[in-house]
Amino acid sequence: MKIGIVGTGTMGSGIAQNVLSNGYNVILIGHKEGDLKTCLEKLNLGFDKAIAKGSITKDQKALFLNNLGMSSNYEDLKDADLVIEAVTEDTEVKKGVILNIEKRVSEDTIIATNTSSISITVLASLIDKPERFLGIHFFNPASVMKVVELVKGEKTSDEALNRARIFAKNLGKVVVDVKDSPGFVSNRILMLFINESIHILEEGIATKEGIDTVAKLGFNHPMGPLELADFIGLDVCKDIMEAIRRQGKDERFKPAELLEKLVNEGNNGKKTGKGFYEYKKQK
């Protein structure tokens, strides 16, 4: 079985590592040669970490990478059984990618999106066979997190859902069936949590460290909400909040002013070296 993945960022590379590690052939599509090179570096780093933990061997890493194809040409998706769109959380960008995928794949190919907030039904309406379109929402880091949200659009067929379910379970994931609703389950909960934590910081009720400590030691969360927002990407958090707010007409998801300010300044969290905290800037 061959899996296509479109997107070379954090989610695209993480999904690719997860899929390769479970014996699938992968064709990874990126828009620029530099993006593909950076993605390959991320994959090498991810597999090297797995080797250091004793999860895989060097021979397994070599085998996994041998099953990877990388291209900037959508035509190379032509023999994929399932294609996952994993580009930036921007509706217009995703629409363009999904249309490009549809033009190149066979009629039997399942097309999935990794969106965390955009309506599956709206995206499915772009293609001629919306019954073969659905959401498979992986969590970051995709190679580690055990759960996926399987999201059915209004016209998604049972066959497409079953094929996607089998695929996700073969990756070792726990599958949660979710109705097509703004933010699904995960981000409807998480973005309110993050946004309210930012409001608390804005109001001077506690320091960022204090807020994160309460979540970690009081709720037994591995990361505090502000640390987590930096890890996700503040720009991504803002985009998700705005998408849920717009689709659900829910003002609770209006991004906090401090979040808007940080994003406007280009301080998007760990990936840029600064967000609520400061980090060594990623390549």
Active site residue 187: yes
DSSP character at residue 272: G
Give ∠ CA 20-21-24 in degrees, rounded to 5.
Answer: 40
Active site residue 221: no
Among 89, 102, 149, 227, the active-site one is 149
Radius of gyration of the chain (CA): 19
Cα–Cα distance, 67 to 75 (Å, whole number): 18
Among 187, 195, 197, 268, the active-site one is 187
Among 18, 114, 116, 117, the active-site one is 116
Active site residue 157: no
For residue 134, what are the CA distances in angstroms to 85, 149, 177, 225, 244? 11, 10, 11, 29, 18
Among 13, 137, 186, 268, the active-site one is 137
Active site residue 197: no
Within 130-270, residue ranges assigned H as helices are 158-170, 186-202, 208-213, 225-232, 234-248, 257-264
Cα torsion 164, 241, 8, 106: sign: positive
Bridge-partner residues for 278, per DSSP?
274
Helix (H) or strand (E) holding 147, with range, is strand 147-152
Catalytic machinery residues: 116, 137, 149, 187
